[in-house]
């Protein structure tokens, strides 16, 4: 039932705001940039940047900061799925890309995997952000199976690259989205993902910034996310009869095929109305963490929100989970070009 709320929120595009610690959210490639565009329309108040090799796509976005890379190579027409070329053009532009990410406490890198830009340029941006000592959280989506094996293979390779350079990689699966929202148009379905991504970012930032019922400070956050590895998000929202109902609904909505038992960390965020008790918060948290590792790093944040008078919302990032998406084979590294292809701020 929780998904009904998320879908409604996505469709009504209600505004959400974050502020305080310095957060940059960078969308890379077609899917990543679309996410940034939609985050901008729903009003996510942090620095939003769209990076692409496709000039036409970039021009059509309503995003405050747009950056095109590899124009000399692609003539602004995208990479046609060539991830190694994506890496090459990004490495040739490390200085300006570094300037893009520097100065942030947290950098979120968003990419839809399967193509050349998100998968090729994205990990280089994550790597540069890591060099600035920011906490780097990449949020990636896996392509639809129907798009064919090449895209899927690309996505697995890209996921592995993201994993190597990010503190945490949150993996969402478009195929799950199809199961959860079979009857809404694809564009709206992507919007559901984007509202969820916005919610994750907002929760993470607000938990640290805003005095809450139960606070998580920046060092708590980094304790879970520094070595988060591959992660997933659980989401539940509803007028639950009991804490157990909230737990069942939340655990029912994984956006990735994961084995929870191996999880090494959990960042649980609970929002409820003025009547929400500490006992409810802890019972929900206990239920969610019941099957993860005993030594897992668990941080709980809770906030009272008047709009949740009879409702509870639970968003959980489970870190260090095992996923079947990570490719077994060693990765072929992209060759580095000697020329410099400077990105241009549009
Ligand atoms: N989440 C999300 N995924 C999308 C969206 N549009 C496309 N996709 C998915 O993203 C995958 C990668 O496509 P793009 O993002 O267009 O690829 P790219 O990174 O721009 O790479 P090139 O076009 O090869 O330069 C596709 O295979 C789709 O599964 C979107 O708006 N949101
Ligand atoms: Mg593209």
Give the separation between CA 195 and CA 96, rounded to whole angstroms: 29
Residue that wins the pLDDT comparison between 42 and 229: 229
If you ran DSSP here, which 8-state letter would residue 16 be given? -
Residue (of 63, 67, 61) closest to 44 by Cα position = 63
Backbone angles phi, psi at 13, to 5 degrees: 50, 50
Core vs surface per residue 227-260: b (16+ CB within 10 A) or e: ebbbbbbbbbbbebeebebbbebbbebbbbbbeb
Residue that wins the pLDDT comparison between 202 and 328: 202
Q: Is the CB of 174 within 6 Å of ligand 1?
A: yes
CA of 297 to the centre of ligand 1 (A): 33
Q: Which atom of ligand 1 is nearest to the CA of 82?
A: 24
- How much is the average pLDDT of 219-227? 90
Ligand 1 pocket test: pick from 31, 42, 61, 89 the residue with the most ligand atoms within 8 Å of its Cβ.
Answer: 31
Q: What is the dihedral of CA 322, 325, 327, 333, to 10 degrees?
A: -110
Q: Which atom of ligand 1 is nearest to the CA of 57?
A: 20
Q: Whose CA is nearest to atom 3 of ligand 1?
A: 31
Q: How many Cβ atoms sit within 10 Å of the Cβ of residue 339?
A: 9
Worst-scoring range by mean pLDDT, 105-114, 227-236, 322-331?
A: 322-331
On the CB side of 70, CA atoms within 13 Å amount to 28
Give the separation between CA 215 and CA 231, rounded to whole angstroms: 22
CA of 322 to the centre of ligand 1 (A): 24
User: What is the predicted pLDDT for the residue at 187?
Assistant: 80
pLDDT in tens, 155-193: 999 999 999 999 999 999 888 888 877 888 888 888 888
Counting every residue written for the chain, the total comes to 346
Backbone angles phi, psi at 105, to 5 degrees: -80, -40
User: What is the predicted pLDDT for the residue at 18?
Assistant: 40
User: What is the predicted pLDDT for the residue at 21?
Assistant: 82
Mean pLDDT, all residues of the chain: 85
Q: Percent of the chain scored above 70 by pLDDT?
A: 88
Domain 7-207 has CATH 3.40.50.720: no
User: What is the predicted pLDDT for the residue at 316?
Assistant: 92
If you ran DSSP here, which 8-state letter would residue 322 be given? B
Q: Whose CA is nearest to atom 16 of ligand 1?
A: 30
Domain ranges of the chain: 7-207
Query: Where is 247: in which H helix or E strand?
Result: helix 243-251
Ligand 1 pocket test: pick from 112, 142, 156, 256 the residue with the most ligand atoms within 8 Å of its Cβ.
Answer: 112
CA of 25 to the centre of ligand 2 (A): 18
Q: Is the CB of 228 within 6 Å of ligand 1?
A: no
Backbone angles phi, psi at 220, to 5 degrees: -60, -45
Structure-token pair, residue 72: 């000399």
Q: Whose CA is nearest to atom 14 of ligand 1?
A: 30
User: What is the predicted pLDDT for the residue at 259?
Assistant: 79
User: What is the predicted pLDDT for the residue at 337?
Assistant: 29
Give the separation between CA 265 and CA 217, rounded to whole angstroms: 16
End-to-end CA distance of the chain: 42
Q: Which atom of ligand 1 is nearest to the CA of 120?
A: 19
Q: How many Cβ atoms sit within 10 Å of the Cβ of residue 160?
A: 19
* Residue 216 near residue 235 (C-beta atoms within 8 A): no
The model carries a pTM of: 0.86
User: What is the predicted pLDDT for the residue at 154?
Assistant: 96
Residue that wins the pLDDT comparison between 206 and 70: 70
Core vs surface per residue 181-192: b (16+ CB within 10 A) or e: beeeeeeebbbb
Give the separation between CA 315 and CA 270, rounded to whole angstroms: 7
Query: Where is 226: in which H helix or E strand?
Result: none
Q: Is the CB of 114 within 6 Å of ligand 1?
A: yes
- How much is the average pLDDT of 229-251? 92
CA of 296 to the centre of ligand 2 (A): 38
pLDDT higher than threshold 50 for residue 253: yes
């Amino acid at each position: 039932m929780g998904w009904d709320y998320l879908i409604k929120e996505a469709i009504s595009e209600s505004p959400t705001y974050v502020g305080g610690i310095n957060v940059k959210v960078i969308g890379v490639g077609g899917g990543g940039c679309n996410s940034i565009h939609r985050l901008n329309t729903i009003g996510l108040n942090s620095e939003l940047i769209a990076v692409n090799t496709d000039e036409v796509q970039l021009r059509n976005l309503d995003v405050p900061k747009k950056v095109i890379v590899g124009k000399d190579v692609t003539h602004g027409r995208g990479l046609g799925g060539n991830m190694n070329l994506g890496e090459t053009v990004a490495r040739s532009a490390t200085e300006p890309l570094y300037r893009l990410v520097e100065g942030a406490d947290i950098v979120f890198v968003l990419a839809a995997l399967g193509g050349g830009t998100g998968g090729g340029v994205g990990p280089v941006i994550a790597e540069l952000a890591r060099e600035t000592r920011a906490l780097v959280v990449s949020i990636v989506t896996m392509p639809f199976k129907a798009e064919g094996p090449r895209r899927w293979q690309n996505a697995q390779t890209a996921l592995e690259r993201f994993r190597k350079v990010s503190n945490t990689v949150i993996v969402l699966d478009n195929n799950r989205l199809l199961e959860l929202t079979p009857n809404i148009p694809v564009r709206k379905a992507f919007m559901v993902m984007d509202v969820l991504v916005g919610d994750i970012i907002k929760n993470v930032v607000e938990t640290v910034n805003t005095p809450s019922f139960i606070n998580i400070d920046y060092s708590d956050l980094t304790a879970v996310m520094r070595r988060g590895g591959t992660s997933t998000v659980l989401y539940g929202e509803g007028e639950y009869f009991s804490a157990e109902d909230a737990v069942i609904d939340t655990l029912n909505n994984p956006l990735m095929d994961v084995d929870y038992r191996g999880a090494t960390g959990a960042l649980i965020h609970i929002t409820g109305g003025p009547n929400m008790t500490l006992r409810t918060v802890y019972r929900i948290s206990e239920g969610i963490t019941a099957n993860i590792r005993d030594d897992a790093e668990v941080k709980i944040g809770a906030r009272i929100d008047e709009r949740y008078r009879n409702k509870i919302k639970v968003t959980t990032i489970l870190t260090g989970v095992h996923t079947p998406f990570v490719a077994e084979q060693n990765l072929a590294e992209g060759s580095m070009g000697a020329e410099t292809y400077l990105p241009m701020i549009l």
